[in-house]
Structure 1
C-alpha cells in the first residue's frame, strides 16, 4: 500500500509515525511550548531523528471547547515554520487545518499533506486547494466542532456512521476530481465521541476505511486514556498510547499520529517483527 502525496508515494508496507508539532498557545498537551520558530524547529528535528516520517504542524487548538482563530493568525503561526523546516528536510510535512486559505499558504511554503479535522466539509474551498496541489489528504470524522463536540455526542451506531461518512467522502471527493490515491481516513478519536464511542471505534478499525485505503489514528494523550487510568495527569498517557499503537498496528493501521515518537516507532517495529512478512 502507498499513499500518493504530491507525486511521491509514501510506503505503507510498515507502520509510519506522524509527529505532532503544535505552534499554539492553548493546545491541550503542549500549548505554548513550541510557539517560537527555533523552538519548534528543534522539536521537529528531535522527532525526525527519532523516526517520524511526517511532521504535522498545527496553528489552531482543536481541544474540546477550543475557540476558533482567524486564518491570518493561523497562517502567521504555521507558515514560517513550514518554510524553515522545508529548507532543511525533504520528508513529509502536514498542515493541520480545516481552512482553505491556511492550507494554500502552507502548501505554497512546502507542505505536502492537508490534515482536515472536518473531512473537507467545513470550508467549501478546501477540496479545490487539495485537488490542484496534488497533496495528500487526511479525511477525519468529527461530530460538531471543537467548541461543541464533547457537549453531548450521540450516534445510533458510531461504527456504521463513521464508515458511511468515509464512503460518502470518498465518492464526493473523487467525483470532484481529487485523486483517490491521495486520501487516507481518520476516525477522529475524541472528536465528538464519548468514552464508549472511542472504544467501539478502536475495536472495529478494520471496518471503517473504504477497502484498500489507509487509516490514520490519532489517539496520543487523549482524555479517554486518562479516564481508563483514573488519572488526569497527561504525562501518564504516553505509555498507554504506545500500547494502543501496537494493538492498532496488529489491526492494520499503518499511520499513527503521536506526541512521543521514539517509543511508538519502537512499538511498531517490534509488533511488525512478531507479525512477520504480511
Structure 2
C-alpha cells in the first residue's frame, strides 16, 4: 500500500542472509510497522535537492525488485495490548495501532517484490529494451543505381510509432514507442543524423553525394517512449534504445557525355 510518492508501507522488514526483505506477511506478530521511502523522497522532505537513487548499487535479480530505500519503523500495539517500549502507554488501543513517531533505520537495498508496488520507470525501461521494436527500412532515390553529381536522397516510410501492452507483475503497462532520432550510415564512412525520417523528392531532407562505386547503406533508429500503468497518467521512460534496419546495396555510376548525330 502506498502512502505518498516514493513511499511504501510494510508489516515486516528484516535483514536476511540474502539481504534486506520487505513483506506484508510477517512470520509472527511484529512490534513495529514499517515504511520504506526512496532517498529522493527523504531528501525532498528535508528541503534538499532530489538526487537520483543509487539503485545501480543493488543486485539485479530475475523477477525481483530491489531498490535503495530508507527504512523507517514505528511501534505498534501488540496482541497483548502493550508495546515493547514500556514508556509508551497504548491507552487501550487495539492491537496493530501505531504508537509514537517514526524512527529512521538504515538506507539499504531492499527486496520489495512482495509489496508489489506499481512498476517504476527504471523497471519499465528494462522491459522497453527487450521489445521487438521496428527495424526501419531505408529507401533511396533515384531507385536502383545513382549517379555521380546527383545527390542520393534517403528516407524511410516505415512506421515511426508503435504501442505495446505488457503485463508486469499483474499491472497493465502501455508503452508508446516513438522514433526520436535517425542515423543514416551511407556506406562510405559518413553518418548523417536527423530528427525526422526524411522524405522523397521534392521534399527531401536527407541527401548525400557519392563518388562512383558500390555502397551499402542502413538506418539506425533511436527510440524513446512513454508509459502508463493501469490507464493512469503517461510518464517518460528514462532512457532510449536503438534498432538497425536492413541494409540496401546500390551502385553509383559515373555518367559520361557522348556526342551523337541528331540526324541519325
The question of a shared fold, defined as TM-score above 0.5 by the shorter chain, is answered with no
TM-score (norm 1): 0.24
**Structure possessing the higher relative contact order (Cα contacts under 8 Å, 6 or more residues apart):** 1
Higher helix proportion (structure 1 or 2): 1
Higher strand proportion (structure 1 or 2): 2
Structure number with bigger Rg: 2
TM-score (norm 2): 0.24
